[in-house]
Amino acid sequence: MIHEQAQNVLVTEPRAKIKPVKCVVWDLDNTIWDGILLEDKQVTLRSGVVEALETLDSRGILLSIASRNDYEAALDKLEEFGLKQYFLYPQINWNTKSSSIQAIAKSLNIGIDTFAFIDDQPFEREEVNFAVPEVLCIDAAQISELCDLPEMMPRFITEDSHRRRQMYQSDIERNEAEKEFEGSNERFLATLGLHFTIALAQEEDLRRAEELTVRTHQLNTTGYTYSYEELDAFRHSTTHKLFISGLEDKYGSYGKIGLTLVECQEDIWTVKLLLMSCRVMSRGVGSVMMNYLMNQARQANVRLLAEFVPNERNRMMYVTYKFGGFKEFERKDNLVIFEADLTRIQSLPSYVALHVEE
Highest mean pLDDT among 24-28, 179-183, 231-235: 24-28
pLDDT, tens digit, 9 for 90 and up, residues 133-184 = 999 999 999 999 999 999 999 887 888 888 899 999 998 998 899 999 999 9
Q: What is the overall mean pLDDT for the chain?
A: 89
The segment(s) of the chain belonging to CATH 3.40.630.30 are 159-357
Query: For the whole model, what pTM was predicted?
Result: 0.75
pLDDT, tens digit, 9 for 90 and up, residues 306-343 = 999 888 778 888 888 888 889 998 998 889 999 999 99
The segment(s) of the chain belonging to CATH 3.40.50.1000 are 2-152
Distance CA 260, CA 268 (A): 16
Q: Does domain 2-152 have CATH number 3.40.50.1000?
A: yes
The pairs formed by 67-74 with CB atoms below 8 angstroms and a separation of 24 or more are: 67/26, 67/27, 67/28, 67/29, 67/91, 67/92, 67/100, 68/93, 68/94, 68/95, 68/97, 69/28, 69/29, 69/37, 69/38, 69/93, 70/37, 70/38, 73/37, 73/38, 73/41, 74/28, 74/37
Q: Does domain 159-357 have CATH number 1.10.340.70?
A: no
